[in-house]
Amino acid sequence: MDVTFATAVSLVIFVIVYGLIAVRNIRGIKLPIWSIMFVGALAVLLLQIIPLDEAFRSINFDVIFFLIGMFILVSGLEASGLLRYITIKILERAKTPDRMLWFILLVLGVLSAFLMNDTIALVATPIVLGIARQIQVRSTPLLITLAFGITIGSMMTPMGNPQNLLISLSSGIEYPFWSFLQYLGAPTLACIGVTYLIIKRVYKKELARATVSQLVATKELITDFKLARLSSIITIIVTIGFFAIGFVNAFGIQNNLNFSHVALIGGLALFVTSPKRKEVLRGMNWQIIVFFVSMFVFMGGLWHSGVIGIFSSVFPHIDRLEHSSMLNVVLTSVGLSQLMSNVPFVSIYLPVLHDLGYVGQDTLIWIALAGASTLAGNLTILGAASNVIILETAEKRKEKAFSFIEFLKVGSIVTAANIAILCSFLFAYSILI
């Protein structure tokens, strides 16, 4: 296939795929986002836009293995009822809608930093839907709050989201765990605080009509105490393993383990030792795994055909001047993450930055990429996979989540404020270091 023709065909496929994702309603038939992305990946393969071997290499298996491992653990926690119990235990302290927003943003946001935002999205969405029904308000404000909270909260650790995992594995940062906490911990908390004020203002009238009744977390919510104990113990061990990798790296001890290995080992350990393997497998969100694999292949096809080069050419050029390069990375991350979602964007942008000469010692550049690509997920539904998970999970339960337009209206305000906070911290760090 001629390169020019391949580029044109890829561009058409891109417009169709993302057009369907944005509209997603043909004669009343809802099209799952994972199936749209799967068809897009299939199209670039069948039209030979990307060879099969290159398509296979475009799949980042560290991310896939990490997702599989974490999804197994979360499936065990959810199947036992323990995660529902813990979440309601946390939220039962909310006496007012305002406090409920705050708990969703802060507590679930911090949880996502250590259990990954995609897993929290998967588990917390049905709980938030139940809360919305209980307080008699539209589910949209609470689901949007959940989406923003877990995206922002996931920013401060390497295991908080897949794109941070990619950066920690591929950038060459010497101590990724501690570097993320050091540089992104404070901006994360500041962004959560500002986002709370924005959502409270936007949905003030709607939330004022809420009827808040006390949530009670009872032991009856835990349906399988043996599975709850087993899955919680293994999850704690996996979380300790994440910290241990950070400690080991901090002391300069060479090892081949990374976060994806720890997550996968933990997930397989639960699967092997659990007497309810079928329930655990059924509880996993396989559609999201298909979505990620398809997304990597689809974006690999766009890269191979030159479409990504067309998109990236309209964004600022990256140079070696620290302040301008950080700002350019931030702008590029926010822009291109809307076109291809933040995970595939980061997977493509990492080698670009390496080609420009950036190495592991350029910590602030990688932190800028992690922070901006994560916060970019709050601009549109397509910006982050966790938004897709919330949308898909709600629609599986025949609940209306949020429209593309409503998410964009609130998300544009939140993203602008959060990116301004991130840039302020980055520039302050560059001066102090």
Handedness of CA 198, 202, 204, 206 (dihedral sign): negative
Q: Which pLDDT score is estimated for 253?
A: 61
Handedness of CA 25, 29, 33, 37 (dihedral sign): negative
Confidence grade of residue 259 (pLDDT, cut at 50, 70, 90):
confident
Q: Is pLDDT above 90 for 154?
A: yes
Q: Which two tokens stand for residue 215?
A: 């949530």
Q: Which pLDDT score is estimated for 311?
A: 65
Model confidence pLDDT, tens digit, residues 398-418 = 777 777 888 999 999 999 999
Confidence grade of residue 313 (pLDDT, cut at 50, 70, 90):
low
Confidence grade of residue 254 (pLDDT, cut at 50, 70, 90):
low
As a whole number of angstroms, the distance between CA 63 and CA 393 comes to 21
As a whole number of angstroms, the distance between CA 407 and CA 105 comes to 16
Q: Which pLDDT score is estimated for 22?
A: 63
Q: Is pLDDT above 80 for 3?
A: no
Averaged pLDDT of the chain: 82
Q: Which pLDDT score is estimated for 288?
A: 78
The gap from C-alpha 72 to its chain's centroid, in whole angstroms, comes to 17
Model confidence pLDDT, tens digit, residues 25-36 = 455 556 777 888
HSE, CB side, 13 Å, CA atoms: give it for residue 113: 22
Q: Which pLDDT score is estimated for 301?
A: 87
Q: Which pLDDT score is estimated for 345?
A: 78
Model confidence pLDDT, tens digit, residues 195-213 = 999 999 999 888 887 776 6
pTM: 0.77
Q: Which two tokens stand for residue 342?
A: 């933040």
Handedness of CA 22, 103, 424, 174 (dihedral sign): negative
Q: Hey, which residues does 29 pair with through a beta bridge?
A: 26
Question: What average pLDDT does the segment 319-329 reach?
Answer: 71
Q: Which two tokens stand for residue 336?
A: 């291109």
Q: Is pLDDT above 80 for 94?
A: no
Q: Which pLDDT score is estimated for 138?
A: 86
**Which percentage of the chain shows pLDDT scores above 90?**
24
Distances (CA, A) of 115 to 120, 264, 323, 349, 428: 7, 13, 33, 25, 29
Confidence grade of residue 100 (pLDDT, cut at 50, 70, 90):
confident
Q: Which of 85-99, 122-136, 142-156, 206-220 has the highest mean pLDDT?
A: 142-156
Q: Which pLDDT score is estimated for 249?
A: 61
Q: Which pLDDT score is estimated for 186?
A: 95
Give, as one character, the DSSP assignment of residue 26: E
Among 45-49, 119-123, 177-181, 386-390, the least confident range: 119-123
Confidence grade of residue 170 (pLDDT, cut at 50, 70, 90):
confident
Q: Which pLDDT score is estimated for 414?
A: 96
Q: Look at the block and give the residue holding tokens 């950036």.
A: 358
Rg (C-alpha) for the chain, rounded Å, is 21
**Higher pLDDT among residues 326 and 339, named by residue:** 326
Question: What average pLDDT does the segment 216-223 reach?
Answer: 66
Q: Is pLDDT above 70 for 320?
A: no
Q: Which pLDDT score is estimated for 335?
A: 85
Q: Which pLDDT score is estimated for 378?
A: 93
Q: Which are the contacts of 204, defined by CB distance < 8 A and separation ≥ 6?
A: none
As a whole number of angstroms, the distance between CA 133 and CA 115 comes to 26
Q: Which pLDDT score is estimated for 371?
A: 95
